[in-house]
Amino acid sequence: MSDTIERIKCLIIGSGPAGYTAAIYAARANMKPVLYQGMQPGGQLTTTNEVENWPGNPEGITGPEMMIGLQAQAERFGTDVRDGWATKVDFSGGVHRVWINDQIELHCESVIISTGASAKYLGLSSEQHYLQMGGGVSACAVCDGFFYRNQEVVIVGAGDSACEEAHYLSKLCKKVTMLVRSEKFRASKIMEERVRKTENITILMNHDTVEVLGDGQVVTGVRALNKTTAETFDIEATGFFVAIGHKPNTDIFKDFLNLDETGYIIGIPGTSKTNVEGVFVAGDAADHVYRQAITAAGTGCMAALDAERYLAAKE
Ligand SMILES: Cc1cc2nc3c(=O)[nH]c(=O)nc-3n(C[C@H](O)[C@H](O)[C@H](O)COP(=O)(O)OP(=O)(O)OC[C@H]3O[C@@H](n4cnc5c(N)ncnc54)[C@H](O)[C@@H]3O)c2cc1C
pLDDT at 28 over 70: yes
pLDDT single digits (tens) 175-219? 999 999 999 999 999 999 999 999 999 999 999 999 999 999 999
The answer to whether the Cα torsion of 261, 265, 266, 270 is positive or negative is negative
**pLDDT tens digits for range 300-313:** 999 999 999 999 99
Q: Mean pLDDT over residues 3-30, rounded?
A: 95
Distance in Å, CA 47 to ligand 1 centroid: 9
> Looking at residue 3, what is its pLDDT?
58
| pLDDT of 4 | 74
Query: Can you tell me the distance from the alpha carbon of 186 to that of 9, in angstroms, rounded to the nearest whole number?
Result: 44
d(CA 261, CA 284): 15
Out of 10, 108, 144, 284, pick the active-site residue.
Answer: 144
Average pLDDT over residues 73-90: 98
* Residue 82, phi then psi, degrees to nearest 5: -130, 155
Residue from 10, 108, 143, 173 carrying the catalytic annotation:
143
Q: What pLDDT, on the 0 to 100 scale, is given for residue 261?
A: 94
Find out whether 106 and 99 touch, Cβ atoms under 8 Å.
yes
Tell which one of 128, 143, 254 to mutate to probe ligand 1, the residue whose CB is within 8 A of the most ligand atoms. Answer: 143
Query: For all residues of the chain together, what is the average pLDDT?
Result: 96
Is 163 catalytic? The answer is no
Pocket of ligand 1 (CB under 6 A): 13-19, 36-41, 43-45, 47-48, 51, 53, 85-86, 114-117, 119, 139-140, 143, 249, 252, 283-285, 291-294, 296
Residues 260-293 pLDDT 10s: 999 999 999 999 999 999 999 999 999 999 999 9
Half-sphere exposure of 311 (CA within 13 A, CB side): 24
Amino acid 2: pLDDT: 54
**144 counts as catalytic:** yes
Atom of ligand 1 nearest to the CA of 290: 19
The residue-averaged pLDDT of 216-225 equals 98
pTM: 0.89
- The reported pLDDT for the residue numbered 169 is 97
Label residue 48 by pLDDT band (50, 70, 90): confident
Query: pLDDT, tens digit, for every residue of 55-78?
Result: 999 999 999 999 999 999 999 999
pLDDT above 70 covers a percentage of the chain that reads 99
Q: Could you confirm whether 10 is annotated as catalytic? A: no
d(CA 168, CA 290): 13
158 has a pLDDT exceeding 70? yes
